[in-house]
A and B are shown apart, each in its own frame.
Chain A
Amino acid sequence: GAVVSQHPSWVICKSGTSVKIECRSLDFQATTMFWYRQFPKQSLMLMATSNEGSKATYEQGVEKDKFLINHASLTLSTLTVTSAHPEDSSFYICSAQTSGVKAQYFGPGTRLLVL
């Protein structure tokens, strides 16, 4: 089956620093990738849609200057949390969409803790 990886799986950082999370589709090409965040015991919340070679589309209420998304290749998208604060602590999950049937496959998630 289609596999999506994320790196790192967890990260602890100090307030004010930036953190980059990578999302890779390992065995398929994905023109479209998605970034979600999930707070404990809550549903997934879509943050942005990332299309290869173009600017990401952010959901309402998501600060594009704080959550920088780059989708430079058909297998890699990155999310950078800039000047992270404790309220940014969350579980970040990416997904990649196949062409044709447009199935979405999710990465294992990245747990971010900002101290």
Chain B
Amino acid sequence: KQEVTQIPAALSVPEGENLVLNCSFTDSAIYNLQWFRQDPGKGLTSLLLIQSSQREQTSGRLNASLDKSSGRSTLYIAASQPGDSATYLCAVLIQGAQKLVFGQGTRLTINP
């Protein structure tokens, strides 16, 4: 059974810092991995998707990497801003399956 773990559960950093969020999964037979953010009381916003054959994806100040063999992904946020404060979720789509398996999320707070 696929399990997804996110560390840390919560993180608070000053504005301007670069930071890394971690995601690990137990079964390397994945189709893709997505990173999302959720603001309080809102739906999920897709940030980046990495297909199983890819190593990383970049969008603006965000960079996500994928190491399938070790079952790890990281989300790197450069020059953090207060608007980056949210819960960040990683989710994997298992090969042959339809539904995503989510981590518990990292609650990020960027202090002005």
**Contact surface of A with B, Cβ cutoff 8 Å:** 1-2, 6, 32, 34, 43-44, 46, 49, 91, 93, 95, 97, 101-109, 111
Contacts and interface: CB of A to CB of B under 8 A. Distances in A.
Max chain A CB contacts within 10 Å: which of B41, B43, B98? B43
Given A49-B98, A109-B42, 9 more contacts: A32-B98, A43-B105, A46-B99, A101-B32, A101-B51, A103-B32, A103-B46, A106-B44, A107-B43
Interface string B91-112: 1010000111010110000000
Contacts, number: 47
A107 B100 CA distance: 15
Interface residues of B, number: 20
Nearest to A51: B98
Nearest to B51: A101
Contacts of A34: 99-100
A25 B25 CA distance: 29
A54 to B, nearest CB: 12
A43 B93 contact: no
A85 B47 CA distance: 35
B46 A106 contact: yes
A104 B42 contact: no
A106 B42 CA distance: 10
B66 interface: no
6 contacts: A2-B46, A34-B100, A97-B98, A103-B34, A104-B34, A109-B41
